[in-house]
Amino acid sequence: MDQVLDAIASQGDAPEDLVAGSQLLSVRAMAAAARVNHNTVARAYRDLEQLGVVRGENGRGVFVQEEGPERARELRRAETLDSFHRAALEALRSGHSLEDLLDLLKRERRFSA
């Protein structure tokens, strides 16, 4: 599910990226490509559909919704912020000061800008 979500959330720069209207691999083809059970892929596709990222069409396949890429980016941003929150709490519990964390963020911002 994460790999498909990443492919949909990306900006469509790479050939494997999925844009609005793109058809996902069939459940069996995706299972073979990912080397997982087809039930795992079917569950991931259902979860993505419930999240509003893709839509299933009986007899046709699974397609990226028009709003799917933006929804996928929103989900990824929320997950990233949640991961950062957990990491920051762990750092604070481990004895790092808030100033240490802020300095680190400021350094990273300079390097990535």
- Tens of pLDDT, residues 49-58: 999 999 999 9
CA distances from 27 to 59, 65, 95 (A): 12, 17, 47
- Tens of pLDDT, residues 84-108: 999 999 999 999 999 999 999 999 8
Domains in the chain with CATH codes: 1-113 (1.10.10.10)
How many angstroms separate the CA atoms of 56 and 61, rounded? 6
**pLDDT tier at 109 (50, 70, 90 boundaries)?**
confident
Query: Tokens at residue 37, please?
Result: 């059970």
Matching residue, tokens 């963020």: 105
Tell whether pTM > 0.85.
Answer: no
